[in-house]
Structure 1
């Protein structure tokens, strides 16, 4: 059995995204960037993820680049997954090393079905201004990652832009302070299905919060999404996706408990919640 999960705002949270904390709650830093801790989990969530990893194959799935993924030290010190999917499905890491064959497969698929990145950039430059676009990055030679001022987005222009690039085989997703422009062929779901076949797994539970996770969740046998996410805003009810009751950082605890419960059910056992810390 595989548990394939998005990271940011699904399993791990920045201070801005974690939401209200319970009294006396102590979060655990799990990512260091420029000598500052920028991502966190609750102690309970780390304990639950450790249980998950001991029970099944845990595969982190993220739009982060390899370098950004490698900053998350909880995956080196505490939870050590054998596989990870980064760059929105563009890279598969096997024991920390990139699978070159998969990278070549993705590059060929993107070239066949999506317009060149330079064409998308030309359309983007027509609507982007310094007033609301702070930084632009072409990540891993695969997709655009753009830091924005969200409340200054020219929404009609962005909606028109989204429609234009969709015709060119590209998708747009807004996550917090970032916009991602991603070739449609660059898919978390495709990478996960590749690993499912490679590992000979019969069942996948997936979790994710954004539209970039939609392919991952739809390709899985069971799907869970945090209530606070982009997916919930677009699909308040979904025939395939179960939403958590809790938003914010506690959604990670809830969805991990659901994963353990479903794993126990499939194995004919009863999952017993255990309080405690790692």
Structure 2
């Protein structure tokens, strides 16, 4: 069994994203950057995840680059994940090292999408210093763009999203960041590779952004925090199961629900109604 989960705003939270009911003294620091703790997990989330990891393989799945993922010391030291999917699926780590076979597979998949240089050139037609602060080509796979969210031109961004689809790229806005990601780089594909390598029969997954949809579709059971892009896009569509709470409380809710699902008889949680 695999529990595959996005990290930021799903299991771990910045100070601004923690939500109601959690004070600074009541959370566990999990990420250190430039001498400062910048991400946190609730003690109950940590306890639940420790218990779940005794019976299921915990696979962190993140849009973060390898370097950014490695800053999350608490997950690395406490859970010592054998497998992790980073770079939005562009890298699969095995015992902390990128798997070369997977990277070769990704390189072939990227050939089916428009070249990265043409994508950023197209983005330049709507980009402005008023709302775009910086960008970088992360791991030579996708673009990570720092935004002034309040000044972002929503209509132009949505038009660009449709233009990107024709280039076989995707756009996701998460907090003050925008990601431009080619179709050949997906969390779901990376997870299915891990499933094949481990011979696992069942997957439960969680995530909050549109970049997590491939991850959720690869799972037999999926649950989404009551916040973020997916919740905003599908809250009334009935496509996903959402947690009872938002913010850091959502992490506690989703692990509890996943533990309940894993405890069901196999015939029941493998049925279509389990999704």
Q: Would you call these one fold, judging by a TM-score over 0.5?
A: yes
Q: TM-score, normalised by structure 2?
A: 0.94
Partner of 2:103: 103
Q: Distance in 1 between matches of 2:87 and 2:20?
A: 30
Tell me whether 42-51 or 59-68 shows the greater mean CA deviation.
Answer: 42-51
The answer to whether structure 1 residue 34 and structure 2 residue 59 are counterparts is no
Q: TM-score, normalised by structure 1?
A: 0.93
1:199 Cα offset (Å): 0.8
Partner of 2:272: none
1:24 Cα offset (Å): 8.8
Describe the superposition over 1:132-174 as per-residue Cα deviations: whole angstroms up to 9, x where unpaired: 0111011000000001011101112111111111100000000
Partner of 1:115: 114
What secondary structure, in the 3-state scheme, does the structure 2 residue paired with 1:31 have? strand
What secondary structure, in the 3-state scheme, does the structure 1 residue paired with 2:69 have? helix
Partner of 1:132: 131
Partner of 1:225: 224
Tell me whether 80-89 or 24-33 shows the greater mean CA deviation.
Answer: 24-33
Task: Extract unaligned runs of 5+ from structure 2.
Answer: 268-275
The answer to whether structure 1 residue 3 and structure 2 residue 39 are counterparts is no
CA RMSD across the alignment: 1.5
Q: In the alignment, is the contact (CA less than 8 A) between 2:18 and 2:248 conserved in 1? A: yes
Q: In the alignment, is the contact (CA less than 8 A) between 2:234 and 2:240 conserved in 1? A: no
Describe the superposition over 1:79-121 as per-residue Cα deviations: whole angstroms up to 9, x where unpaired: 211100000000000010110110010011011x200000001
Describe the superposition over 1:179-203 as per-residue Cα deviations: whole angstroms up to 9, x where unpaired: 0000012111111111111111111
Describe the superposition over 1:47-90 as per-residue Cα deviations: whole angstroms up to 9, x where unpaired: 11111111111100000000000000012221211100000000
Q: Distance in 1 between matches of 2:68 and 2:222?
A: 25
Q: In the alignment, is the contact (CA less than 8 A) between 1:134 and 1:146 conserved in 2? A: yes
Q: In the alignment, is the contact (CA less than 8 A) between 1:132 and 1:148 conserved in 2? A: yes
Q: Distance in 2 between matches of 1:31 and 1:24?
A: 14
What secondary structure, in the 3-state scheme, does the structure 1 residue paired with 2:58 have? strand
Q: Distance in 1 between matches of 2:64 and 2:143?
A: 11
Aligned residues: 267
